[in-house]
Amino acid sequence: MTFVTRFAPSPTGPLHLGHAYSAMLAHDMARAENGNFLLRIEDIDQSRARTHWENQIYDDLRWLGVTWDGPVIRQSENTAAYSHALDILWDKGLLYQCDCKRRDILDAAQAPQEGAPAHGPDGLIYPGTCRHTHPRIGPRPETVALRLDLSAAIAQIETPLTYSETGKNDGQIQVTNPMQTIGDIVLARRDMGTSYHLSVVVDDAAQGVTHIIRGADLAEATGIHVVLQHLLDLPTPIYQHHRLIRDDAGKRLAKRDDARAISKYRAEGAKPNDIRQMVGLPPAP
Ligand code: GLU
């Protein structure tokens, strides 16, 4: 089986050292395995995606010596595939319309009988307010937020919810207590008609990705991705969640962290191998 991995940046800001590490690590592994390295632009949030950031990504990656195989996929051009996946889940009776605002969720989660509010991959675990307020029959409603009814979804899954993580005993990791750690996640946002979790799962499968190499900040999201792979009958790739690159104060780098932008190091005369050294990678072969 050919090793296929990908780098999937969102064009909403400059590439910084953390992105460069992720891209170079995945790229080095693909080249060492004689596999494929794909580039996918995750631009479903059209209110934040910008063409100039996308162009800067291409330019910075080329400069770093990161080359990709095949055409670049842009998620904004793939919305039909996400709609199709939502239809499958809707037809299984697993999606429901949610009208809650952020404030409603916070209030409900903080109600005294709820105990301390729990957090999942998207922030507060949804307290289930809208779970039974809208009918789940007829055509799938559009331009509304749709959540996954997680306990109903899990009841429909017959195979064990596990995945392999390289470096972690190469063993099977179990998705544990999904209702407490994930909850009813939004799969279609009102403004986008999809979500990060849904599109990433659909695209990784469509692109034949065998290995997902990404930051430890996304490890929490893997549980919901595995649930979606089971529901949509898609294969589960092998995961590797790498350490995060932090600033001098130990904080992980954010998109707005222009001080660590690759373009800034370039402008100051750094060479690609200097960047590799900064993130702890050996010089380019
Ligand atoms: N688009 C995501 C990001 O920029 C990465 C998605 C992934 O690797 O699964 O953080």
Say yes or no: 182 and 169 in one domain. yes
16, β-bridge pairs: 261
42 contacts 10 by C-beta, under 8 angstroms: yes
Identify the residue whose C-alpha is closest to ligand 1 atom 3: 9
For residues 101 and 217, membership in a common domain is answered with yes
Q: For position 169, which CATH number holds?
A: 3.40.50.620
Dmax (CA) for the chain in angstroms is 60
Q: Are residues 104 and 221 in the same domain?
A: yes
β-pairing, 211-215 vs 238-242, is parallel
Same domain, 72 and 134: no
Measured distance CA(251)–CA(253) in Å, rounded:
6
Q: What is the pLDDT along the chain (285 residues), one digit of tens a residue?
A: 899 999 999 999 999 999 999 999 999 999 999 999 999 999 999 999 999 999 999 999 999 999 999 999 999 999 999 999 999 999 999 999 999 998 888 888 887 776 777 899 999 999 999 999 999 999 999 999 999 999 999 999 999 999 999 876 567 899 999 999 999 999 999 999 999 999 999 999 999 999 999 999 999 999 999 999 999 999 999 999 999 998 877 787 766 667 789 999 999 999 999 999 999 999 997
> Do 272 and 176 share a structural domain?
no
The answer to whether 253 and 245 have CB atoms below 8 angstroms apart is: yes
- Cα of 188 to ligand 1 centre, how many Å? 17
Let me know whether 164 and 174 are in one domain: yes
Residues 9 and 108 in one domain: no
Alpha carbons within 13 angstroms on the beta-carbon side of residue 143 total 0
Name the residue of 54, 72, 195, 200 to mutate for ligand 1: max ligand atoms within 8 A of Cβ.
200
Q: Which atom of ligand 1 is nearest to the CA of 7?
A: 8
**Which structural domain range is residue 164 located in?**
78-238
Same domain, 99 and 159: yes
| Nearest atom (ligand 1) to Cα of 204 | 9
What is the domain count for the chain? Answer: 2
My answer on whether 109 and 150 are in the same domain is: yes
Residues with CB under 6 A from ligand 1: 8-10, 42, 200, 214, 218
**Does 118 share its domain with 84?**
yes
